[in-house]
Structure 1
Amino acid sequence: METTVYVARRIRTLDAGKPEAEALAVRRGRVLAVGTKAEVLEAAGEGARVVDFGSAVVVPGLVDAHAHLAGLGRSLTVARLEGAGSVDEVIQRLADAPSTSFQGDWLIGKGWDQNGWPGQGFPGRAELDARFPRTPVYLTRVDHHAAWVNGEALRRAGITRETPDPAGGRILRDAKGEPTGVLVDNAMDVVAKVVSPPTDEQLEARLSAALERCARVGLTGVHDAGMDLRTFRLLQTWDMAGRLPVRVYAMADGQGEERHTYLELGTYGGRMLEMKSVKFLLDGALGSRGAALHEAYSDAPGETGLLLMEPEELEARALAFMQRGFQVCIHAIGDRANTLVVDTLIRAGAATGTKALRHRVEHAQILRPEDIEKLGAAGLVASVQPTHATSDMGWAETRLGVERLKGSYAWRSLKEAGAVLALGSDFPIENPDVLAGLYAARTRQDAAGRPEGGWLPRERLTGQEALEGFTVGPAWASFAEERRGRLAEGMDADFTVLSVDPVSDEAKALVDATVVATVVAGREVHLHSTTLPTAL
């Protein structure tokens, strides 16, 4: 078996006994040795392949702790609406959409955000109907917690003025009571269930593209937050065939009827694919005013958001999965949702004796100070997404007011309270670029450096803490801390090579930095074409 020695300007091991090194050797997918170049070459023995990355920096494999592979694959092929500045621009993008944007005869798009449009009001079906009178159109909002559809889509779903709002959802209506074409949270499902599903070929192409993108941006692993059974079965097949380029820690989709099958199957551990956890959603998103708040939205008196299931149902599902040995991960954005989730995980964990399963709060976005302390004291994982803060900072205060911002996107406060931070992106809601996540975690600024000093700067993380959040944190949150998250002898040979040092170089250097290489289990799954290493 070939041994490869990798040399770089610096290797940040995150191993307390040897935090920095010049070289590391890899054999049979594991780290053979870490140290000076001379030490590692001696350990590798004669005939070892040597790769010199020059001025690049090696870090333990970067892992996105909250993402959606099927969603990323879908977003790479359907109509892209991110950054559209108006309804008219959305319509034009749809008119120019590629053929891959269709599922059956349904035109699919994603990424619209009314917060970036004049007036910031929700769109309506009329604009879509004028351009697409007979083609059903289904467009998900940037946060995936609202959908914009046309009249044909409403007709196929049987939605009329008499259709009641489903539990945990809202059908927006005009002054006459007619559906406007915007569906929030659980109301999306009424239309989604009649949308033509992707073909097997489409699903395979999408997942392949998503996994390739992950490797290209430097990710050695992804925690998939709510995987449907069809996707899981396909990835199982690929894993058994050795086709997965990155590791996938899958959370079973616990929201729909497939949860019964997952409960029956139990947990799963493959070579590159694991499913030891389950994901539930309790509330919606802040941008669509679906996040469940204790008090009304500052910009919508009387509205407090949505609970996507009753708290009693959430607890019953959590108990059932905990008893089957699943780690329970629950989406909570609003402060009311976070109160309920923290209490539920503590209570259910105690009832089942499963604190060791490291239950997780996904997003942990807006919390009251007392719930931050409670979450940390309970040893729960806070699975947070740094780029959500920099995406939302322009309008979050309008939604919440100044006082509630004190417990919002509060990474440092959560860490100081004792929570384990596992950082991610929530792609495709955000870009899967992990360098952007490292930058946002350190600066709480956009790519242009705004606002000066960072938004709510007390909650920034240091470069070291940000790196740990994408390495050590996800490893702990997936029970892999003895195998990954650090670079030490015997650990899995998962590492990412960057053109900059994410800890000691200035944070702004991350904006234009390059992922030089991605190595998973000793396999080079990505090498940047313009910065190829030198093999000696």
Structure 2
Amino acid sequence: MRLIPLQCSLLVAAALAAPAAVADTVIDNAVGYTLDSKNALVQFSSLAFDDAGRVIAVGTAAEMAARAPKARHIDMQGKTILPGLIDAHGHVFNLGEMLTQLDLSASASLADALAQAAAYGRANPGHAWLRGRGWNQEIWKLGRFPTAAELDGAVQDRPMWLSRVDGHAGWANSRALALAGITRATPDPAGGKIMRDAQGNATGVLIDAAQDLVDRVLPKQSEAEARVVLDRALAQMAQMGLTSVHDAGVNVAQDALYREYADLRKLSTRVYGMIGGVGADFDRLAGKGPLPSYAQDVYALRAVKLYSDGALGSRGAALIAPYSDEPASRGLLFYKQTAIGAMMEKAMRRGYQVNVHAIGDAGNRQVLDAFQRLIPKTGKGAQRHRIEHAQVVAPADIGRFKRIGIIPSMQPTHATSDMNMAENRVGPQRIGGAYAWRSFAQQGSRIACGSDFPVESSNPFFGIHAAVTRQDAAGRPVAGWFPEQALSLKEALRCFTLDAAYAGHQEQNLGSLEPGKWADFVVIDRDLFRIAPADIHKTAVLETWVAGRQVFKK
């Protein structure tokens, strides 16, 4: 790892040559790292910023003392500082909801999940509906989906609805199925599937768009509940060192709450919003066009989130050839080519960045085909369009991302969570184009990294660890899962900082600790560049700062 020496740092030289910007605060005695605009890793011991929350300079203590003789000083006592970490794909309100609902992500078996469901029901006698998230039948080694009858054994007096870990399937008890009006005669909706037994009866699991049958009868979230959910999500994101997040699916009510929180300086994490779809919410929110920045870059709403297919774990991801472990299925494309193209074009012509969820190789190809046709047609290539996940891509299509100008927005922990089933799903040939970070980086694609929380943990150090080691927290597999696709630590840090900022059109203000940018940074308990890669996931955030303001302290 080559570091730029302090005395040669372009950052320091630029800062010292700049006109007399005044530093009001200096962070001293730190082990600091930042990337610069030339992709060099710069080390510093002092960081200076003004009362507006903008970086003045980084360098040595002596340089900062000469630059800011009247500034207040904060001694970091040798702790490590990184630029604020950016999660380029999360679901903020879903994260907050998960913190208020049953969390099955740690359930080790079906019996364990049922015991937790029963306990949750007993502990919440006043809830009309019982909700939760996080189950994964692959971890349970069940070999099938769970059933409503099994869930009835835990809770049968009230409806219970539990989202799968990826959010692309839901598990209902019989009471919930009845309230949703799901019978043997209910047809599969477009883009969805009702799992059935040999007699055609619904078994309790609904895939992708079929979940809407339950969602439409769920009690609507009140404004007070939404505030609690947002408060809890913000608290956790600050604790994780996330100074910015790209929220993949914002509706009208959430947009209003974000703007209110921004006005009140309550957004402790910056939010780059994607409008969920191009329907009624888009028509209302897009009235004045994209919102590049609101309240000093605390909020933005300049993107749209669309879906091409489902998820790999529930076999909803659309594949070009059948699933290797289920030859009768190729997954689900949510829309025909003309329909998804029309949605993408509507958003593009209104000036929005278009970010499309695509996990299977057929889903990715569908979206690439649409972008390849629409960008010349609309002249809207500069909007930095993205494919969210880009999870299983036909090797021949990887190069198209670079040629067309599409950003792969990827989540490293998906690889280490999915390695227990991914190769079974797609087979030994197709897996070569799956979770292929090195292939994308090598061709010059700027990868925007995130977590897809609450599908995965919101802890960005889990993602950096997965990107570098291709291992889970237990160090499995020993050599890494397809280790040839791993990233270097510098590349992984860039994916969670500068490249994530670029994917949100925010690299001029976020992503590094360069002069003039916002003083967004995290203080952590270890030096990432001097520890074993296997220990990266153990990193703890001690402090989180946004625009020079401390928003979390451990």
Q: Do these two structures clear the TM 0.5 threshold for a shared fold by scoring above it?
A: yes
Residues 6-405 of structure 1: pairs in structure 2 closer than 5 A = 6-15=27-36, 16=38, 19-27=42-50, 28-46=52-70, 48-97=71-120, 105-254=128-277, 257-268=280-291, 269-271=293-295, 272-405=298-431
CA distance in 2, matches of 1:200, 1:12: 41
Residue matched to 2:16: none
Code of the residue aligned with 1:347 in structure 2: it is: R
Of 403, 406, 428, 2:432 maps to 406
Code of the residue aligned with 2:241 in structure 1: it is: G
Q: After superposition, what is the alpha-carbon deviation per residue over 1:435-480, rounded to whole angstroms, capped at 9, x for unaligned? A: 1111001000011211111101111000000000000111111111
CA distance in 2, matches of 1:490, 1:99: 54
The offset of 1:117, in angstroms, is: 1.8
Name the SS for the 1:73 alignment partner. Answer: helix
The offset of 1:99, in angstroms, is: 8.7
Contact 2:110/2:142 (8 A) holds in 1: no
Structure 1 462/84 Cα, relative in aligned 2: closer, same or farther at 3 Å?
A: same
Structure 1 2/485 Cα, relative in aligned 2: closer, same or farther at 3 Å?
A: closer
Code of the residue aligned with 1:261 in structure 2: it is: R
The offset of 1:233, in angstroms, is: 1.2
The offset of 1:26, in angstroms, is: 1.2
Which region of structure 1 is more displaced relative to structure 2, 500-509 or 215-224? 500-509
CA distance in 2, matches of 1:368, 1:168: 22
CA distance in 2, matches of 1:475, 1:257: 28
The offset of 1:107, in angstroms, is: 0.5
Q: After superposition, what is the alpha-carbon deviation per residue over 1:168-220, rounded to whole angstroms, capped at 9, x for unaligned? A: 00001111111111000000001111111222222111110101110101110
Which region of structure 1 is more displaced relative to structure 2, 280-289 or 52-61? 52-61
Contact 1:57/1:501 (8 A) holds in 2: yes
Which region of structure 1 is more displaced relative to structure 2, 147-156 or 11-20? 11-20
Code of the residue aligned with 2:132 in structure 1: it is: G
Unmatched 5+ stretches in structure 2: 1-21
Q: After superposition, what is the alpha-carbon deviation per residue over 1:345-385, rounded to whole angstroms, capped at 9, x for unaligned? A: 22212211111100001000001111101112222111000
Q: After superposition, what is the alpha-carbon deviation per residue over 1:7-48, rounded to whole angstroms, capped at 9, x for unaligned? A: 2442212124782211011111101121111111221222x2
CA distance in 2, matches of 1:22, 1:372: 40
Code of the residue aligned with 2:415 in structure 1: it is: A
Code of the residue aligned with 1:150 in structure 2: it is: N
Of 435, 438, 444, 2:461 maps to 435
Residue matched to 2:6: none
Residue matched to 1:533: none
Residue matched to 1:457: 483
Q: Are residues 1:501 and 2:501 paired?
A: no
Code of the residue aligned with 2:146 in structure 1: it is: P
Code of the residue aligned with 1:373 in structure 2: it is: G
Structure 1 52/382 Cα, relative in aligned 2: closer, same or farther at 3 Å?
A: same
Name the SS for the 1:258 alignment partner. Answer: helix
Indicate the percent of aligned positions where both proteins have the same amino acid.
42
Which region of structure 1 is more displaced relative to structure 2, 76-85 or 257-266? 257-266
Contact 1:294/1:336 (8 A) holds in 2: yes
CA distance in 2, matches of 1:241, 1:310: 43
The offset of 1:509, in angstroms, is: 2.5
Q: After superposition, what is the alpha-carbon deviation per residue over 1:463-516, rounded to whole angstroms, capped at 9, x for unaligned? A: 000000000111111111111112121111111122223334321231322112
Unmatched 5+ stretches in structure 1: 529-536
The offset of 1:87, in angstroms, is: 2.5
Q: After superposition, what is the alpha-carbon deviation per residue over 1:100-126, rounded to whole angstroms, capped at 9, x for unaligned? A: 979961110101111122433101111
Which region of structure 1 is more displaced relative to structure 2, 51-60 or 336-345? 51-60
CA distance in 2, matches of 1:354, 1:103: 51
Which region of structure 1 is more displaced relative to structure 2, 286-295 or 17-26? 17-26
The offset of 1:134, in angstroms, is: 3.0
Contact 1:363/1:384 (8 A) holds in 2: yes
Structure 1 477/99 Cα, relative in aligned 2: closer, same or farther at 3 Å?
A: farther
RMSD across aligned positions (CA): 1.8
Code of the residue aligned with 1:242 in structure 2: it is: R
Structure 1 278/96 Cα, relative in aligned 2: closer, same or farther at 3 Å?
A: same
Aligned length: 527
Using the size of structure 2 for normalisation, the TM-score is 0.92
Structure 1 183/191 Cα, relative in aligned 2: closer, same or farther at 3 Å?
A: same
Structure 1 301/456 Cα, relative in aligned 2: closer, same or farther at 3 Å?
A: same
The offset of 1:86, in angstroms, is: 2.5
